Amino acid sequence: MKALILAAGYATRLYPLTRDKPKGLLPIAGRPMIEHILEKIESVEEIDEIYVVTNERFTRHFQAWRDGYRGKNKVQILNDGTTADGSKLGAIGDMKFAVEEKGIDDDLFVVAGDNLFQFNLSQFFSFFKGKGTSVALRHIEDKESVKRYSMVKLDEKGRIIDFQEKPAHPTTTLVAVCMYMFPRDKLGLFSTYLNEGNNPDAPGFYIAWLHKREPVYGFIFQGQWFDIGDLQCYQEADREYRKSAQG
């Protein structure tokens, strides 16, 4: 299995912190954010290659970090060639780019480089091996907050039967996390989706499209999860991770 970390955004909502530094390298409890994600990825023995897709502006930053990183797996940095938020490929565009750039022909784990989570990825991998295309899910506190995410409904077998990106009127508190496992024989669907002229940015739009064409299953996990979208969330995650490190 291969792993892909999406880190090609420009994080404009975190300016000025991210004006000259990628979000994935901002410190969380004294370590670059991406290293917390890599720690989880490297716990899955089946993952043998890790890619980080970024943009032209931040490629050198990630390469400099990578040169000093001492992890279990080799990390390769991919430059999607974009230089500004207005011209970015989008998450699905970057997934397609990475698959084609590296000729990936293997099961693929995809995670956003700004999603911090506290659960065992091996459990997610086992779920995927039994089900197929899988999305990580989590219940959040209230329906109002669901409007910022993707609302999900499952059938009794865990298959996604409803998936709405940023719903206006949520009816459940179950949301999708930007964390996916795709079988090798389904990677070509990224191109199909984009060739139809669909939204290339938020991965939720891809899952909303995909679950109507292919079986997609939801894995509900417990534990902390931070989607680092703004300064308040970044500071909260830093505080919580510092507490965990101390205790």
| Calpha distance 21→16 (Å, rounded) | 9
Q: Give pLDDT < 50 ranges for the chain.
A: none
What pLDDT, on a 0 to 100 scale, did the predictor assign at position 245?
78
| Calpha distance 3→71 (Å, rounded) | 14
pTM of the full predicted structure?
A: 0.95
pLDDT digits 0-9 by tens, 209-224: 999 999 999 999 988 8
In sequence order, the 6+-apart residues with CB closer than 8 A to the CB of 55 are: 8, 10, 79, 80, 81, 82, 83, 88
What pLDDT, on a 0 to 100 scale, did the predictor assign at position 247?
62
What pLDDT, on a 0 to 100 scale, did the predictor assign at position 229?
87
**Residue 208: C-alpha distances to residues 173, 203, 205, 223 (Å):** 17, 9, 5, 25
What pLDDT, on a 0 to 100 scale, did the predictor assign at position 86?
82
What pLDDT, on a 0 to 100 scale, did the predictor assign at position 244?
84
CATH number of the domain that 159 lies in?
3.90.550.10
For the record, the structure tokens of 78 come out as 């991919």
In sequence order, the 6+-apart residues with CB closer than 8 A to the CB of 215 are: 131, 132, 133, 159
Percent of the chain exceeding pLDDT 90 equals 79
What pLDDT, on a 0 to 100 scale, did the predictor assign at position 208?
95
Identify the domain containing residue 94 by its residue range: 2-246
What pLDDT, on a 0 to 100 scale, did the predictor assign at position 11?
84
**Would you call 247 helix, strand, or coil by DSSP?**
coil
**Residue 50: C-alpha distances to residues 34, 59, 125, 201, 224 (Å):** 12, 16, 15, 22, 23
Please tell me what DSSP assigns to residue 114. T
Find where tokens 């965990």 sit: 244
Structural domains counted in the chain: 1
